Amino acid sequence: MPVKEKETPEQKAVRIEKWKADMKLAKERKKLEKETEQVEVKEMGIPLDVNTGQPIAEVVELDIPADLNLPKTDPTKQYRDFQKLHRGDQTTISLQELPIEDMIKAKSDLNLREAEEKLPGESPIPFIRKKVEDVQKGLLQETEKAMFKLSEDPPVPFVAKEMIPVKEPTKQNHMSETAVLEVTKPLLSEIKGRIAIKPYVSGEENMGLEDENQPGGAMVISPDSRQLDRIGCEVVNGFITYFTGLNEQAKEVQLLPEAKKRAKIATIRQVVAYLENSIASNFKVRVETCMDNFGTKDDNFWENVTKFRSSGMIQVDQKGSRIPTYWDGVEVELNNATKVLDKSNPKDLIIYYAIQGQGLSLIAPSLNAAIEARGAYKWYLDQPEETANIQTESIKLKYQAAAALETMRTSDENRLFLVSKMVALNNSSYYKRGGPGYTPINFMYKDMSDYIEGKRGEVSIAAVDRFLEFYKMPIDELMWRAILKDAAEYHLLDTKGDGRTYYKNEALGKTIEDIVEYLSRSINEKTAADLSNAIENVWAE
């Protein structure tokens, strides 16, 4: 094994001096490299920060022809455009009549010659030349991005000295450029006035929230709380259908008369096309042309719809999980305040038609639907004209019912007794005049008045409708209905497993209409008289 010679003090001093010289040279090269990177902007007169050495951004006024349609950039990118000049039919990039690459090379060579004279030993030109080329390449790429970052045109390859042909934007479906950019709104003639979602206080017991005298008035849910309602759907054999109100294949659309069906389909398509344009940026469908070729084999409207189809096959990802659609994310937040819908807002339009299609379970499509549902809905869609009509009709019906009640009180006590038997809560305790326990007429009058006002458990307008229905009913049918109601109350009738109602083992029928018809026949007169006498005897007590 060779023995390493011990370093003498002289050798050590030489080694240290050489190391210092190498470090100094490396430091000088690093400094020169930094200066070379900045030579482009420095030589052009861009001021540099004294601390960082980085160029200070400043606004540079460029002499750029207006017809070049250059994109707007920040001041630094404007400077990097190097005064783009328009010469005749060709576009060039130049500075002081020199192409970029020649200018950078000239500036770099000048600095390299100066650096070679300053640094002893091996020339640093090859090393720094590579750095200059990298900087040059980066500048050209930045210039290319600044020049051709156009929103409509496809990118054009960068050419510094040659003519660049300008391509026309690709037109879709042979439409004009203006048509591609503009979004046409549907007519929406069915939506009149301001539309809103309002709380519906039915008057039925709701944990005290229905009290109008409490602070804030009557409510449908607790103060400061909210509920979310989302569009419902149905899945059958991997095929999902959302209840959006925008499905032209829905039964409620297909069962309309032909003229109304076509008008409804036209409205649906106009809305879907508007949503595709405004939300999905899909202009393959248009409001103006949505009914073109309707009913023919060339009708391809739904083939071009990408986001707002109401039905389709379920799509799954690689893990087998269902891929959500746009409809899965549609929701509306509800509270005790009125929520106004803007029909010019595409997302509010989606909510409107989902309510109309009964796709939102908490909101009735109208005030009338909320009334008839008897508490099933806590909110309803308010359309001023429709709501005003319903409220006006309700007032008219109340006056009619009040007039009918007064007529029965003064001239038709028997009908008043039978109507009271049909609608009063404690009807089984009503007895006819003549017996020892008869019910005073004023008592029945007061009870029917409260019923009409909705104070006996039913919503006012529904109560009025029911009252007038029995008031206008033929007296014979009204009598039989009252008899049958009390007969069932007194357990004189029996309903068996075949669904029919029996009196003393004699089948009368399945529905109330069937039973009334059966007892009205002369052949069944004995059974009818027997049942009638049994109830009349009770009423005379």
Domain residue spans of the chain: 34-148, 195-382, 388-539
> CA-to-CA distance for 525 and 541, rounded, in angstroms?
24
List the single range of 455-464, 470-479, 519-528 with lowest mean pLDDT. Answer: 455-464
String of DSSP letters for 13-67: HHHHHHHHHHHHHHHHHHHHHHHHHTHHHHHTT--B-TTT-PBPP--------GG
How many other C-beta atoms lie within 10 A of the C-beta of residue 417?
A: 22
H helix runs in 186-250, sequence order: none
Mean pLDDT, rounded, of the chain? 75
pLDDT grade for 24, boundaries at 50, 70 and 90 = confident
Q: Which one, of 234, 243, 230, lies nearest residue 310 by Cα?
A: 243
Is the pTM higher than 0.75? no
CA distances for 111 relative to 35, 39, 125, 134, angstroms: 9, 8, 10, 16
Write the pLDDT tens digit of every residue in 502-537. Answer: 988 888 988 888 888 898 888 989 998 999 898 888
CA distances for 171 relative to 68, 174, 177, 298, 496, angstroms: 21, 6, 7, 21, 73
How many other C-beta atoms lie within 10 A of the C-beta of residue 468?
A: 17
List the single range of 116-125, 293-302, 326-335, 351-360 with lowest mean pLDDT. Answer: 116-125
Residue 167: the pLDDT is 37
pLDDT grade for 308, boundaries at 50, 70 and 90 = very high
Q: Answer for the pair 437, 538: CB distance below 8 angstroms, yes or no.
A: no
> CA-to-CA distance for 347 and 339, rounded, in angstroms?
14
Residue 269: the pLDDT is 94
> CA-to-CA distance for 452 and 416, rounded, in angstroms?
14
List the single range of 125-134, 199-208, 472-481 with lowest mean pLDDT. Answer: 125-134
> CA-to-CA distance for 341 and 339, rounded, in angstroms?
7
Q: Which one, of 344, 306, 71, 349, lies nearest residue 172 by Cα?
A: 306
pLDDT grade for 4, boundaries at 50, 70 and 90 = low
CA distances for 69 relative to 142, 147, 152, 281, 360, angstroms: 18, 10, 12, 24, 49
> CA-to-CA distance for 360 and 350, rounded, in angstroms?
11
Widest Cα–Cα separation across the chain: 146
> Average pLDDT of 252-264?
92
> CA-to-CA distance for 340 and 24, rounded, in angstroms?
75
How many other C-beta atoms lie within 10 A of the C-beta of residue 110?
A: 12
> CA-to-CA distance for 274 and 347, rounded, in angstroms?
11
